[in-house]
Structure 1
Amino acid sequence: MVMTDTGARRARREGRWLAAVVLALGAVLAPGAVTAAADVEPGDTVHVGGREGYGGTGLFPIRSDGTPTGEVDYWAYCLEHDVSARTGVVGTVGDLDEYLGENYFTDPAVQGKVLWVLAHSYPALSLEEFGVAAGVPGISRNDAIEATQYAIWRYTDLTWDAAWNFETPASEAAYWYLVEGANASPGLTPAELEVTASISAPVAPQRAGSLVGPFVVSTNQPTVSVSVDPTVAVTDGSGSPVDLAGVVDGQELFLDLRDSTTAGEAVVRVTAAGSSSTGRIISVPTVTGGTPTGSDHAQTIVLVTPSTTRTSAEASASWSAVPAAADPVIGTSLVDSADGDRVLPWNGGTVIDTIAYQNLTPGVEHTVTGELVRKSDGTGTGITGSTTFTPAEANGSVEVSFVVPAGYAGEALVAFERLRVGTETTGDPVAAHEDIDDAAQTVTIEALPQTPAPVIGTSLVDSADGDRVLPWDGGTVVDTVSYQNLVPGTEYTVTGELVRTSDGTGTGITGSTTFTPAEPNGSVDVSFVVPAGHAGETLVAFEELRAGTDTTAVPVAEHTDLDDAAQTVTVEAAPVTAASPTEGDLPATGVGMTGAAVGAAALLLLGTAFVLARRARARA
Structure 2
Amino acid sequence: MNKTVSSRPTRMGRAAAALLLAVAAVVPSAFAGSASAATDIAPGDAVWVGPSVGGGTHITPVYIPVPADTGNPGTADYWAYCIEHDVSLRPSTSAVIGDFSSYLGSNYFTDPAIQAKVYWIVTHAYPSVSVADLAIAAGAPGLTLNDAIEGAQYAIWRFTDLTFDASWDWASPNSEAVYWHLVNGAHANAGATPPAPADIDVSVAGPAAPGAGGTLVGPFTVSTNQATAGVASNPAYAFTDAAGDPIDPNAVVDGQQVYLDLRGVAAAGSATVTATVAGADGTGLVVSTPEVGSTTPTAASHRQSQILVAASTATTSAAASGTWAAAAVPEIGTTLTDAADEDHILAWNGGSLVDTISYSGLTAGQEYTVSGELMVKSDGSSTAITGQTTFTPTSAAGTVDVTFTVPSGYAGAALVAFETLYAGDTATGTPVAEHKDIDDVNQTVTLEEQPVMPAIGTTLLDSADQDHTLAWNGGTVIDTIAYTGLTPGIEYTVSGELMRRSDGSATGITATASFTPTSTSGSIAVRFTVPNGYAGESLVAFETLYTGSTASGTPMAEHKDIDDAAQTVAVEKQPAGTAPTVTGLASTGSALPVGLTAVAVTAVLLGAMFLIRRRKAHSEL
Higher Cα Rg: structure 1 or 2? 2
TM-score by length of 1: 0.48
